[in-house]
Structure 1
């Protein structure tokens, strides 16, 4: 009998994860996410939600927190997508919540996403 070892997520990879609409239980939906950090201390992965819904015109509140994934095809995504960079779309999750591997973010995309996350956090802290 062969055992298949599941790959652990790495920073800059995209996976599917169960995202709960309110808190950590109840109604949820499998969504693509970007792994942005891993804590050795807690064993938790920090992830950002990904959406295929682009910013609206004129933009509403959260549209300013979306960062386009330019290389979405090369990253394994099925359609043009955006990382939701608002702090509310950041989650710390256990490995078991990360279900299936999608692909790896382009280096330039990942850098732009991290910058947008930092900018979003700064904007939120000024409120």
Structure 2
């Protein structure tokens, strides 16, 4: 019985060590596919602004000039220099489209309410 249990535990440990790299590869493949989808959603051209963080920690800001199957070209926002980046080297892609319309409206409403309250406070101070 002990021999059977020992063999069972040894084979379970061996199976666990073999399956771990396969699971890591699948997670990495999903990440690459997700990055590829995000780049495709951003589009191509000067309006496709993005901040790309690579796995080595390098951050690049610019716009997507060209997107291929294995890599894409990011043009720097300051120098307009092209940089070819492979999808497997990318850790994160963020869109840089500026402020949303809802945020701009909220800022405007906040300024308006603040100005109104200031006028009311000044008026009340002069009535006394």
- TM-score w.r.t. structure 2 length? 0.33
Query: Which protein is richer in helix relative to its size?
Result: 2
Q: Which has the higher contact order (CA 8 A, sep 6+)?
A: 1
Between structure 1 and structure 2, the one with the greater Rg is 2
Query: Which protein is richer in strand relative to its size?
Result: 1
- TM-score w.r.t. structure 1 length? 0.33
